[in-house]
Amino acid sequence: MLMKNVFGGIFFLSLVTSGLAGCIIQNTHDASETTSALANMDGILLPPGSHPKAQCGIPGVISYQPSPAEIERDNIYQLATYGVVYKDWQTTTWGANPPARGYNIGSILVDTSKNLGEQIVCWARNSVITTGNGTQHGEVRLMTNYLSNAKVSSLKDRSTHSFKLYSTLEPCSMCGGMMTLQSLHTTLYGQTDPDYGDGIQRLEVDTHPAGGFCPYPRGVYSNASNLPIRQQIDTAYAAWQTQGNRGLTIWLTTPEAKELYQQAISQLSSWQVAYTENQIVKDKALDYLSNTVPTKYTVLPYTVGCTGN
């Protein structure tokens, strides 16, 4: 197999069943440097410092330091996100008749700008089955629909808008990549994904000292909600796996998962705010969930609950 490096040199790789058997290097770099790079990081074929972005000028990781009142708002919105999914709960995945909408995964987008008054501006649910389109994850549909309706090119913080995205499940690499390219600052989620999670965090890894790559220049803060219900969901899924079961999206159709999501809605309804300014946040979230979010699949583009204002 032939592989070109960034300087136009060609590596001739001989692959055997045990992995990388060896390589003959034909380029302008000293072979000892390349050997050092290979020793430092398996599979990296660039000499140390040879990548064009070896001098990382823009850090990929950003911080999120919310106040106690902001943490409470995060919890309110996270509970509302569970409610978006519960309103159109699916008991099957692939192969059902009639076909399922998609997986029990959903998200909301919140505009936190003070000049407009903090509010939920869009919602979405996973719809990969009914559309027959594997890209139709909840977060992708959320961002695509909002950006189209708002007629803006990104979710970057600016003077008129500032956004947070809440999802019931940790974003995959596809959704995390879209958040990154859209310059979203913060995303929080209500269940960790042990198989397909950490997609955003992997973009933050700095491998350039070993001849690899700098962190991606746009960072997104991504973390699990600190709600106890999120911890209960993670624990329940882990226990289900120990019984020989597999498939997070399958677990999300179980009565146990549905019961936990129902508990989340009950917790939102009975939530006693610790900060008086958050009472209106809770009331508006409940109203949005009860009177705006529909109970059935909605074709893109839609303006119900997602006008882009």
Residue 14 has pLDDT above 80, yes or no: no
In terms of Cα–Cα distance, which of 220, 200, 219, 206 is closest to 51? 206
pLDDT band (50, 70, 90) for residue 61: low
Name residues whose C-beta falls within 8 Å of residue 301's C-beta, 6 or more positions apart in sequence. 145, 148, 149
Same domain? For 101 and 21 the reply is: no
Same domain? For 95 and 8 the reply is: no
- Do 144 and 167 contact (CB within 8 A), yes or no? no
Assess if residue 126 is contained within a domain: yes
- Do 235 and 246 contact (CB within 8 A), yes or no? no
Specify the higher pLDDT residue, 31 or 159: 159
Q: Which segment, 7-21, 73-87, 100-114, 143-157, is predicted with the most confidence on average?
A: 73-87
**Spatial distance between the Cα atoms of 8 and 3, rounded to a whole number of angstroms:** 9
> Residue-wise over 136-170: b if at least 16 C-beta within 10 A, else e?
bbbbbbbbbbbbebbeeeebeeeeebbbbbbbbbb
3-state secondary structure of 194: coil
Residue 36 has pLDDT above 70, yes or no: no
Instruction: Find where tokens 């001098």 sit.
Output: 55
Residue 71 has pLDDT above 50, yes or no: yes
Residue 4 has pLDDT above 50, yes or no: no
Assess if residue 132 is contained within a domain: yes
**Spatial distance between the Cα atoms of 63 and 30, rounded to a whole number of angstroms:** 40
CA 25 to chain CA mean position, Å: 39
| Least trusted range by pLDDT, from 29-43, 142-156, 226-240, 274-288 | 29-43
Furthest CA-CA distance within the chain: 68
Which domain does 185 fall in, by range? 68-291
Assess if residue 176 is contained within a domain: yes
- Ranges of H-type helices in the chain: 31-40, 68-86, 128-131, 138-150, 173-181, 199-202, 228-242, 248-251, 255-269, 279-291
Instruction: Find where tokens 């209500």 sit.
Output: 190
| Least trusted range by pLDDT, from 17-31, 254-268, 292-306 | 17-31
Same domain? For 12 and 152 the reply is: no
Helices 255-269 and 279-291 pack at an angle, to 10 degrees, of 130
Assess if residue 79 is contained within a domain: yes
pTM of the model: 0.81
Assess if residue 243 is contained within a domain: yes
Specify the higher pLDDT residue, 22 or 176: 176
Q: How many domains in the chain? A: 2
Query: Residue 245 belongs to a domain with what CATH number?
Result: 3.40.140.10
